[in-house]
Amino acid sequence: MIFKQTIIIHLMLMVIAIYSLASQANTSFLPRSLVTVDQLIEEFRGGLTTKVKDLSSNYIATVSSGSIIFTSHEDVGCPYRPMKSGTTLAQVRLHVEQSEGRQLEVARYFACGGKLSLIEEVVTKGKNLTPVAWGKFIQGKRTFALQKGEDFRLYRLSNSKQQELFKVIIQRMDNGKVMNMTFFIRQAKFLTIRYQFEKSLTRAIFTSHGFKVSYHLKHSSWDIDTFEKDNRGFAKLVVNAYATPVGKVDYILNGSLMSQGAFQKFFQYTITRKTFEKIAKFIKSHLHVFPTTSFRQAGLTNTRFLDELKLAHIRLVNNTEINMVKDTVRQYIQAIEEGTIKIDDRRPKE
């Protein structure tokens, strides 16, 4: 049951970033310490894309235009039912529709026995729209931030019964000078982000909204209520971030200077932990009905090393196969010590 809420909790997180852009009057950017919409979505979507990658390395993947089917050369014990060799264990389909100024992309994820598990919908409006490349999609590489020519995007994740788990609406307005992002969990608004771009400054305002939602599955259940009184997370708070021409950023919370690390921990506590991490758990429960997979490493060279680090990060974020991640890190350390992985660290000295 979803509880409608009409009030915003007392927490309001406002971030104002001011830049000197005399030589870049047409350029707008934000401090790297502020999270992006892609980073936020990756907090939960990473578990889904990682599962598809693991299916590809654990089973036989038959790829065609807009579809990938996973089978096995031997019998597989899918959750709740055995599957004979050669039968479809899982499938991913991507459907694209385009009309004047509008594009719809729908991805459907099927688990054991052809059971529909999750649905992703992406609606984009604008000019010269291009759907995500199929090759990039099956690798989990896509962006949700608005690109050149795009004015609107809706991303929705639902279960097989069309029950909404997550949604974000991104809109560019006032000739690109303003961009709004609104985030929902189970149809309840929990976060809005407003960017205002001007010649001499960029302002970002983050506002957290209280919500009360429930989500019940056969073997998992969640009741989330952020209206309950909870110490520091729900007082009215304002954070101002000032960036100097030389790139120094100062964060001020209620008149007191705070570090970048403290600001990031603040955002993690008030936003990420109570929402995006919960959505990641929703997805993890839905992935339980997919064929079991194990973490198979590729070679430790070139971009594969970076890809494996990204996968390890996703597993940590989603709290999956932690022991495998530990083993992988140990192997990397050993390989670096033995010289089989060589790192050219060109980062500036701190």
Helix (H, G, I), strand (E, B) or coil at 54: helix
**In the structure encoding, which two tokens stand for residue 263, read together?**
């600001």
User: How far is it, in rounded angstroms, from Cα 216 to Cα 282?
Assistant: 9
Closest C-alpha among 56, 62, 49 to residue 291: 56
Q: Check residue 139 and report its DSSP letter.
A: T
Q: What span, in angstroms and rounded, lies between the C-alpha atoms of 74 and 85?
A: 4
> Residue 96: what pLDDT?
96
pLDDT of residue 2: 41
- β-sheet bridge partners, residue 98: 103
On whether the CB atoms of residues 61 and 68 are closer than 8 A, the answer is yes
What is the spatial distance between Cα 115 and Cα 210, in angstroms, rounded to a whole number? 34
The closest alpha carbon to 122, from 220, 208, 37, 57, belongs to: 37
**Strand, coil or helix: 95:** strand
Give the pTM. 0.76
Q: Of 41, 5, 26, 4, which Cα lies nearest the Cα of 193? A: 41
pLDDT tens sequence for the chain (350 residues): 444 333 333 333 444 333 333 233 334 455 565 678 998 898 889 889 989 988 998 999 999 989 999 999 998 888 777 888 888 899 999 999 999 999 999 999 999 888 999 999 999 999 999 999 998 998 888 899 999 999 999 999 999 999 999 999 999 998 888 889 999 999 999 888 888 777 666 777 777 788 889 999 887 888 888 775 544 444 334 555 554 444 556 676 666 777 777 777 777 777 788 888 889 899 989 988 898 887 555 444 456 676 677 767 766 665 555 556 666 777 777 777 677 777 766 666 55
Burial of residue 343, with CB atoms counted within 10 A of its CB: 0-12 exposed, 13-18 middle, 19 or more buried? exposed
Terminal C-alpha separation, the chain: 50
Please give the single-letter amino acid code of residue 221.
Answer: S
CA pair distance 193, 79, nearest whole angstrom: 40
